[in-house]
Amino acid sequence: MRNFAALYERLDATTGTNAKVQAIADYFRASSPDDAAWALYFLTGRRLKRFISSGSLRAWTEELTSIPDWLFQESYNSVGDTAEVCALLLDSLGLDATPGSLPDVSLSQWMQERILPLVPLEEEEQKAQVIRWWRALEKGEIYILNKLLTGSFRVGVSQSLVARALAEVSGLDVAEISHRLMGEWKPEGEWYLRLLAPGEKAEVASRPYPFFLASPLENQIETLGEPSEWQVERKWDGIRAQLIKRNGEVFLWSRGEELITDRFPEITQAAHTLPDGSVIDGEVLAARDGRVLPFAALQKRIGRKTLTKSVLTEAPAMLMVYDLLEIAGEDKRAAPLSERRRLVEELLEGKSSVFQLSPLVEFSSWSDLPLERAKSRDLNVEGLMLKRLSSPYQSGRKRGDWWKWKIDPFTVDAVLLYAQAGSGRRASLYTDYTFAVWDGETLVPVAKAYSGLTDEEIGRLDAWIRRHTREKFGPVRSVDPVHVFEIAFEAINASPRHRSGVALRFPRILRWRHDKKIEDADKLETLKAMIDAGYARETAQSN
């Protein structure tokens, strides 16, 4: 635990990518395979179910330190994390601690011999055990323990950085490590050794490949070079997924590495017509009579434990196919896109209509594409995808070969009404805001946003909020309606759950409109007119 806590502190202390990779690599080199497997499990964002609730840790901390509930809440408002508040209070106020009174066992021993055995215990037994550990650990170790107990451990590294560290340790290619990390696996030393073994093949039938992600197009489209070297498709608004057929079994993975096979039986059934050793990349969409439905229809299925006949009828699923990654068991990712496109066309010929090949956008010059992009909202898509015909299928977000050219967001001028402190490093600042528009002579909240301002603007606004608070509602403050902000959003939907009757998709702050008065803010009827115009779409997990 001590070494893992030291790794966390080292990662938390730097924003440098290379420094993070080096820290992880150093930890793996110095760790046993069992410890490395558990550390890798947590570093890649995997989490066990909660063992102890945050409320229990809070109650036990208040009892041990004799701190009143209101003071704990004030501390939480400042820090923004229960596990960290408990660690800080236990360290500063003391609890007859005797650090080192327990042997410093390894991370894997902590998990296997201490934390996992908590599950069947009664709460009083859990409490006694956790307090015993608290008394024997340093502050940093208490914090890590609390995060593991509550199932909320996170660290600021991406899986690609972890793969780079493992590649440095093993001498293997980063792409190969990334592939081996995909899918489900158990944090065991034997598995870790196989992960780093030269020549070891990814033979698990269910294992997907790392997804290739597009980067936002930032320069003029003409800078991409010769148009004939590119393929253009619509940017579909659904769930990015990878469909696998191996050894007679079918697996459907989301981009977030969630196995969603059972959620879409139509796709699973149709996939059995594919030959073994087939892996295709695409977007799960809801469609009826050849027409793609809004994501809202698909979203209803995702949230249901039981898929009734009526649900399946209301929102039948399909897979809009983008690419082919494997055929007849052969990895085709290194082949150019033009060849992979030909192969997937041949693969899907005569197959179920559940599979549709993403149509190509015909164009002869770059000047044709702005008009095609402008059609996006009418087609219920997010914009265009531009893919170099010679490109291999890479891992992660590699710039240069795949670009997404999204439609411009909608904007609205809205008034700041409420503010709330952020979390983590922003816990001491008011960074989460609620914005409103006019409904007659009343300001009605329509969106919450927390991104888009510079650090300097956040500091100025935080100081202003503290001086101009009208009322406090727990952690939320209402403020004088003075400031206007331009809010960007991707789409708008009718929503009976909201007082305004509307919900904005992905709202974020574009700029602080010092040049506008609150009377200049937009009206609710303007937003509702956008819904009537057919611009309603739902949130999706896509490219």
* pLDDT value at residue 156: 75
* pLDDT value at residue 533: 59
Judged on CB neighbours under 10 Å (0-12, 13-18, 19+), 492 is buried
Mean pLDDT, the chain, as a whole number?
88
Plot region of 440 (φ>0 → left; ψ -120 to 50 → alpha; else → beta): left
Give residues with Cβ within 8 angstroms of 267, minimum separation 6. 243, 252, 284, 317, 318, 319, 354
For residue 155, which amino acid is it? V
pLDDT tens for each residue of 331-355: 999 999 999 999 999 999 999 999 9
User: E strand or H helix at 384, and its extent?
Assistant: strand 383-388
State the DSSP string of 397-450: --TTTEEEEEPPPEEEEEEEEEEEE-SGGGTTSEEEEEEEEEETTEEEEEEEE-
Is the pLDDT at 321 greater than 50? The verdict is yes
Tokens linked to 350:
């005569």
Judged on CB neighbours under 10 Å (0-12, 13-18, 19+), 519 is exposed
For residue 403, which amino acid is it? W
The CATH class given to the 2-149 domain equals mainly alpha
pTM summary value:
0.69
Cβ atoms of 348 and 273 within 8 Å: the answer is: no
- The span from the CA of 33 to the CA of 322, in Å, is 38
- The span from the CA of 164 to the CA of 302, in Å, is 33
Judged on CB neighbours under 10 Å (0-12, 13-18, 19+), 188 is middle
Judged on CB neighbours under 10 Å (0-12, 13-18, 19+), 464 is middle
CA angle 257/144/98 to nearest 5° reads: 160
Give residues with Cβ within 8 angstroms of 168, minimum separation 6. 21, 25
Torsion angles phi and psi, residue 378, rounded to 5: -65, -30
- The span from the CA of 64 to the CA of 48, in Å, is 27
Domain 215-405 indexed as CATH 3.30.200.20: no
Q: Three-state DSSP class for 232?
A: strand
* pLDDT value at residue 537: 44
| Listed range (5-19, 97-111, 461-475) with the worst mean pLDDT | 97-111
* pLDDT value at residue 482: 92
Any idea what DSSP says for residue 318? E
Tokens linked to 53:
């609730």
- Listed by start position, the domains of the chain span 2-149, 215-405, 410-532
Q: Three-state DSSP class for 308?
A: coil
Query: What count of Cα atoms within 13 Å lies in the side-chain half-sphere of residue 95?
Result: 26
Any idea what DSSP says for residue 375? T
pLDDT tens for each residue of 485-536: 999 998 788 888 888 988 888 899 999 998 888 998 999 998 988 876 555 4
Stronger pLDDT, 61 or 298, i.e. the higher one: 61
* CB atoms closer than 10 angstroms to residue 175: 18
Is the pLDDT at 363 greater than 70? The verdict is yes
- The span from the CA of 81 to the CA of 437, in Å, is 32
CATH superfamily, domain 410-532, is Nucleic acid-binding proteins (2.40.50.140)
Is the pLDDT at 203 greater than 80? The verdict is no
State the DSSP string of 100-135: TSS----HHHIIIIIIGGGTTS-HHHHHHHHHHHHH
Is the pLDDT at 227 greater than 70? The verdict is yes
Residues 411-421, mean pLDDT to the nearest whole number = 93
Cβ atoms of 94 and 492 within 8 Å: the answer is: no
